[in-house]
Amino acid sequence: MSTPLIDLFSDTKTKPSAAMRAVMAAAEVGDERAGEDPTVTALEARGAALLGKEAALYLPSGTMCNEIALAVHCRPGEAVLCEAGAHIVGFEAGGAAALAGVMLEPISGTRGMYSAAQLQAHLRADNLQAPLQRLVAVEQTSNLGGGAIWPLSELRAVAQVAHAAGLATHMDGARLPNAVVASGVPTADFAQGYDSVWIDFSKGLGAPGGALLAGSKAFVREARRWQLRIGGAMRQSGIIAAACLYALDHNLARLAEDHARAQQFAQGIARIGGLSIDVATVQTNLVYFEINAPGWDAQKLAAATLAQGVRLCPMGLRRMRAVTHLDVDDAGIARALEVIAAALRG
């Protein structure tokens, strides 16, 4: 029997548990596109309440939530302010330009976050020549920022600066649940002040797919129009929505275990020669570290560990990412650290 892969590549690698599959098999379903799937309708109501918004829309992916939100908030040619490392900048195949037709105006922040003062400095008066600024976007937690949690006070200040200037606000909450569990701040409190916000079910929550995009009734109505336009409406999608409801009941609080294991992993990395990490910056389930062992880079280390059953995610020449999730246990973390150390020893 081969040993199972310890997959630290991403929290998207989770597979639905037997209990989650049982709930999916038993789900009541209908034609979602016609508003007739009771499980999807229940999930949307629950999501709206959780996020503190009037309404929510179930979509196939987080990427689609971002793209639809940009398209609803902005007209082609308008500008969206976001952090330079944001998912909408580098990981959505240019969708912001191709679908919403917007310009992205990146702000160089720290660990994926910018301050209200930095935002203020990027605002300009409407001068006809420059793209009209329409939307301010944040990412909670920041992915390329190492899973960093925007402090509630800064999020509120950013939203206040945006609204005072007449701009709308959007929160990419792919890992908002991680921020909630790690900080103790309720989901709706983080989302307050953001005109649109979404959470992903295919990351740490462990469902096979789906995301919920929330906002005002008027926003969600326009989002549904875009959902139809780009082919994001499904039929008996209660099958997967049931997994999302299950995830809200069973996989939310347990994110704390992933955060504890990320700490364990980070502390282990700090003890391995040839690697460097700032353990204090590990706040949630993402762990980034640098490889400075002579003769090694991220691709080479990832290949060496994969050969021993440990998958890591190269994120640049010498930068590596490891992500904890519900399919990695304490033994998996210990084994991953052994394999990494052994690889570097040669």
Binding mask 77-96 for ligand PLP (x = CB under 6 A): ----------x---------
Q: Among all residues, whose Cβ is closest to ligand PLP?
A: 62
Task: Determine if 139 is a binding residue for ligand PLP (CB under 6 A).
Answer: yes
Task: Give yes or no for residue 227 binding ligand PLP (CB under 6 A).
Answer: no
CB neighbour list of residue 299: distance below 8 Å, 6 or more residues apart: 314
Query: How far apart are alpha carbons 242 and 42 in whole angstroms?
Result: 9
Tell me the closest approach of the beta carbon of residue 273 to ligand PLP, in angstroms. Answer: 31
- Using the rule CB under 6 A, is 11 a contact of ligand PLP? no
Give the residue from 85, 145, 81 showing the smallest Cα distance to 116: 81
Among 68, 174, 207, 233, binds ligand PLP (CB under 6 A): 174
**Rounded Cα–Cα distance for residues 214 and 191 (Å):** 10
**Pairing relation of β-strands 6-7 and 286-291?**
unpaired
The site for ligand PLP, by CB under 6 A, has a size of 12
Give 168 or 174: the residue with its C-beta nearer to ligand PLP.
174
Q: Counting contacts by CB under 6 A, is residue 143 touching ligand PLP?
A: yes
Q: Which part of the chain contacts ligand PLP (CB under 6 A), choosing from 61-69, 125-133, 177-185, 275-283?
A: 61-69
Output the smallest distance, CB 286 to ligand PLP, in A: 9
- Residue 144: CB minimum distance to ligand PLP, A: 8
Contact between 283 and ligand PLP by CB under 6 A: the answer reads no
- In whole angstroms, give the CA distance from residue 101 to residue 213: 20
**In angstroms, rounded to a whole number, what is the distance separating the alpha carbons of residues 307 and 293?**
19
CA angle 189, 16, 26 (to 5 degrees): 95
Selected from 133, 183, 187, 202, the binder of ligand PLP by CB under 6 A is 202
The residue from 62, 146, 238, 268 that contacts ligand PLP (CB under 6 A) is 62
The candidate with the shortest Cα–Cα distance to 211, out of 90, 96, 64, 73, is: 64
The two beta strands, 6-7 and 55-59, are unpaired
DSSP 67-126: HHHHHHH--TT-EEEEETT-HHHHSSTTHIIIII-PEEEEE--BTTB--HHHHHHH----
Q: For ligand PLP, give the closer residue by CB, 51 or 272.
A: 51
Beta carbon of residue 147, minimum distance to ligand PLP (angstroms, whole number): 10
Interface residues with ligand PLP (CB under 6 A) are: 61-63, 66, 87, 139, 143, 172, 174, 200, 202, 211
